[in-house]
Structure 1
Amino acid sequence: MTEVSSLTGRLLVATPALADPNFDRAVVLLLDHDDEGSLGVVLNRPTPVGVADILEGWADHAGEPGVVFQGGPVSLDSALALAVIPGDGGEGPLGWRRVHGAIGLVDLETPPELLATALGSLRIFAGYAGWGPGQLERELDRGAWYVVESEPGDVSVPRPEGLWRAVLRRQRGKLAMVATYPDDPSLN
């Protein structure tokens, strides 16, 4: 198998052509991408479930909106957390593992008070998006996703329903124009 160039830490932005309803206008942060497959979380799928309803100890640390997000269609009964740790990019606190830049995974078994002073923002996800070896590359070849750079604020945007358009708008050239693509093109 040929070596896969890692896309860890980058965003997958669903193209209007992507037909899978699980990923309609989704923005996925890739947490891991290598020869064995890919794993990420959908950043713009808030649920009505409050963080306090399932992980009470973490509720005070969750950013707005203080709800659990559907990270993807896989393992919806499991939770993972992302947090942005502001600072110089040095070693993060115990219970936090850097994914990319200031963004990292939080070990939810760590007592929240050990991380509280270091956290810049926290978001909880139920489930994740996963691809087997070569699967994401095939989707990319078919034009299902745009791959763009992530920014720490993408993880904690307070109005996640606008993230798809916002990420596209900040791109250069023709890709920025995709942000104006109508929700229902048949109404044009």
Structure 2
Amino acid sequence: MHSLQNHLLIAMPSLDDPMFGRSVTYICEHNQDGAMGIVINHPMPLKVAELLNQLDIEYNAKSKAADAQVCAGGPVQHDRGFVLHTPKAGFASSLQLTDELMVTTSKDILEQLTSDNAPEKFILALGYAGWSAGQLEQELADNSWLVVPADNQIIFDLCHAEKWQGATQKLGIQAWQLSPEAGHA
């Protein structure tokens, strides 16, 4: 089995699930037991400042980060926050995914997001996407997803509305070239 950790899943046009339609999902973990990822391009009608306010966490309302939108990271544990971010040590529960990317789930990062101690770039998502053993492989065989190596420019620098098209372009194709029909030779 080839691990898709540190790859982006790009939803095919035929995938009409409300959570995953036109989604780009960063795969944090993929092994024989299944996979876990965070949808990085489905913004919720919720700003970081509003979420921090709901959690009674002090924040700097003038910070650019306070105005960022929170993403719907997936249908599993959608009340739990995941911060995908550029490397920044010192948080209680961070996992180094690559030299350029970490994920943190502890409250202490939320307290720092609008401060000078925040990671340079981040996405705050509520929930994650999970696949049981063999499920993601079957969805790939069913032509539900395209796969491309993760790219921090797509993750952090493109606006949410541009990430799906930006990820397909990394494959050397334009989004309009994707057929909603599955085909197998």
Q: State the TM-score, normalized to the length of structure 2.
A: 0.80
Matches within 5 A, 1:158-173: 158-172=158-172
Deviates more, 1:155-164 or 1:60-69: 60-69
Alignment of structure 1 residues 9-158 onto 2, 5 Å = 9-56=6-53, 57=57, 63=65, 66-85=68-87, 93-95=89-91, 96-110=94-108, 112-113=111-112, 116-117=116-117, 119-158=119-158
Q: Tell me if structure 2 keeps the 8 A contact 1:62–1:122.
A: no
Shift of 1:16: 1.5
Alpha-carbon offset, residue 52 of structure 1: 1.4
Secondary structure of the residue aligned to 1:21 is coil
Following superposition, the deviation at residue 12 of structure 1 comes to 0.3
C-alpha deviation, 1:24, in angstroms: 0.8
Letter of the 2:136 counterpart: L
Aligned residue for 2:27, secondary structure, equals: strand
Q: What do residues 52-78 of structure 1 show as CA deviations (whole Å, max 9, x unaligned)?
A: 122255865774861210001122111
CA displacement at 1:107 relative to structure 2: 3.6
**Ranges in structure 1 where 5+ consecutive residues have no aligned partner:** 86-91
Contact 1:83 1:104 in 2 (8 A): yes
The one-character-per-residue Cα deviations of 1:73-106 (angstroms, maximum 9, x if unpaired) are 1221111111112xxxxxx512232113311112
Unmatched 5+ residue regions in structure 2? 181-185
CA distance in 1, matches of 2:177, 2:6: 26
> Using a 3 Å threshold, how does the CA distance of structure 1 residues 82 and 58 change in structure 2: closer, same or farther?
farther
Percent of pairs with identical residues: 28
Aligned-pair distance for 1:48? 1.1
Question: How many equivalent residue pairs?
Answer: 172
Change (3 A) 1:116 1:7: farther
Q: Output the TM-score relative to the length of structure 1.
A: 0.79
Other structure's SS at 2:139 match: helix
